[in-house]
Amino acid sequence: MRLQPSFDERLLRESVARLAGEFGAEYFMEKTRAREPVTELWKKLGDNGYLGAFLPTEYGGGGQGIWSLAIVSEELAAAGCPMFPLIYSAAIVSNVLARHGSQEQKDTWLPKLAAGEAKIAFAITEPDAGSNSHNLSTVARRTGDKYVINGRKTFISGVDSADAILVVARTGTDEKTGKGLLSLFLVDPDAPGLEHTYVPTAVNAPEGQWMLFFDGVEVDADQLIGTQDKGLRIVFEGLNPERILGATLSTGLARYALNKAVSYVKDRQVWGVPIATHQAVAHPLAKAKIELDLAGLMMRKAAALYDAGSPEAGEAANMAKYAAGEAGIHCVDAAIQVHGGNGVALEYGLTDVWWLARFTKIGPVSAEMVLNYVSEHTLGLPKSY
């Protein structure tokens, strides 16, 4: 694991930061308030090869590791443009298709995903099955050369701007354990029998959250990803990239807030001196910076282990997600606090990112489930659920 960034890494960071700066937080929030996708930014990322950094070169990707995509995500968030689709479309779905898709599925989707010409949403969470994927109640039944899907999903990001939805559904039950056997399907967002309802949240992001209702939705058998009943293993393969990219949202937002705070406390004067000279102001920011850099180190470790194919990647990815979530909240909160009353003034842009920073402690995996993982797999404690 390199502690000093390579020339290519520095160049990638600088390039993405420069591109993101052409749009910035004001553009991002305008799109968010209008509930419109950031199409121009997404397309430019694709044109410059950033969205396909994690994909094989034969499909227009960069053939790089997960760390390259993590850099793209973090730099965008640090510029005030945190991008959920980089988690679900560029990291989870693209990875699933590249590893388990049929040749036709790869040829159809991977070049478009790499070029920013398509997005694919990811639908696994249900009202009664959040982290307990074995308990999914959305069912897909084989009828001839089709599958028929019935059920519902909740908190699914970006459905309204997706070109397809990767749906996880139950296709059977393990006779020994009683747990669901899962399969993955590519579903047309406009398929007959599929309805979606917007879920209002406090999180500021162009990609809204949606409830999905499947009522006899037919899917051709060739839209199955991988093998029937073997989908849980495929889903788990996407969890480490999800954790790492989720962590980058937190660290990017932390940098965004911390940069604003440092600039403010240097300029803001009370009793004839900048407020940065007071330890009560400086120390919380210094503590937040330490937490941020520690989280960044764990993110780098997780990415290096994942790219090396190490079985320890899961532990590191979960720890990185936890550490980054904590650092993100503390950095944004410290930034708001040192701004005083201006911290809640909309013009300073800190309240725009507060709920997203707070949300990263809940999803895409909750802090409690990370602690469960570490308790069981790292410390060897009895399973608690």
Instruction: List the CATH number of the domain containing 37.
Output: 1.10.540.10
- The strand pair at 120-123 and 164-173 is best described as parallel
Summarised one tens digit per residue, pLDDT across range 337-364 is 999 999 999 999 999 999 999 999 998 8
Domain end marker among 96, 118, 140 = 118
Domain end marker among 118, 138, 162 = 118
Q: Given this model, what pLDDT does residue 70 score?
A: 97
Q: Given this model, what pLDDT does residue 3 score?
A: 85
* CATH number of domain containing 141: 2.40.110.10
Task: Indicate whether 247 and 372 sit together in one domain.
Answer: yes
Total domain count, the chain: 3
- pTM, 2 dp: 0.94
Task: Indicate whether 81 and 143 sit together in one domain.
Answer: no
Give the list of residues 6+ apart from residue 75 with CB closer than 8 angstroms, or none: 13, 16, 17, 20, 252
Task: Indicate whether 217 and 131 sit together in one domain.
Answer: yes
Q: Is residue 384 part of a domain?
A: no
The burial class, CB within 10 Å (0-12 / 13-18 / 19+), for 58 is: exposed
CA gap 59, 54 in Å, rounded:
11
> What mean pLDDT, rounded, does the chain reach?
94
Q: Given this model, what pLDDT does residue 384 score?
A: 84
Dihedral angle of Cα 114, 97, 5, 300, to the nearest 10 degrees: 140
Task: Indicate whether 250 and 365 sit together in one domain.
Answer: yes
pLDDT band at 191; cut points 50, 70, 90: very high
Residues in the chain: 385
Residue range 298-323: mean pLDDT, rounded? 95
Q: Is residue 132 part of a domain?
A: yes
Task: Indicate whether 48 and 164 sit together in one domain.
Answer: no
Q: Given this model, what pLDDT does residue 134 score?
A: 72
Task: Indicate whether 65 and 111 sit together in one domain.
Answer: yes
Lowest-pLDDT range, 117-126, 168-177, 250-259? 168-177
| Statement: residue 24 has pLDDT above 70 | yes
Q: Is residue 2 part of a domain?
A: no
Domain range enclosing 213: 122-229
Residue range 265-273: mean pLDDT, rounded? 95
pLDDT band at 252; cut points 50, 70, 90: very high
CA–chain centroid gap for 323, Å, is 15
Amino acid at 114: A
Q: Given this model, what pLDDT does residue 43 score?
A: 94
Phi, psi of 219, deg, nearest 5:
-130, 130
Task: Indicate whether 37 and 158 sit together in one domain.
Answer: no
Give the list of residues 6+ apart from residue 295 with CB closer than 8 angstroms, or none: 247, 250, 251, 254, 320, 323, 324, 326, 327
Q: Given this model, what pLDDT does residue 130 score?
A: 66
Phi, psi of 226, deg, nearest 5:
75, -140
Please provide the DSSP assignment of 316-376 as one string: HHHHHHHHHHHHHHHHHHHHHHHTGGGGG-GGG-SHHHHHHHHHTTTSSS-HHHHHHHIII
Among candidates 153, 157, 166, which has minimal Cα distance to 195? 153
Give the relative orientation of helices 239-267 and 279-307 as an angle to the nearest 10 degrees: 160
Task: Indicate whether 194 and 220 sit together in one domain.
Answer: yes
Amino acid at 290: I
Residue range 167-185: mean pLDDT, rounded? 91
Task: Indicate whether 344 and 295 sit together in one domain.
Answer: yes
pLDDT band at 273; cut points 50, 70, 90: very high
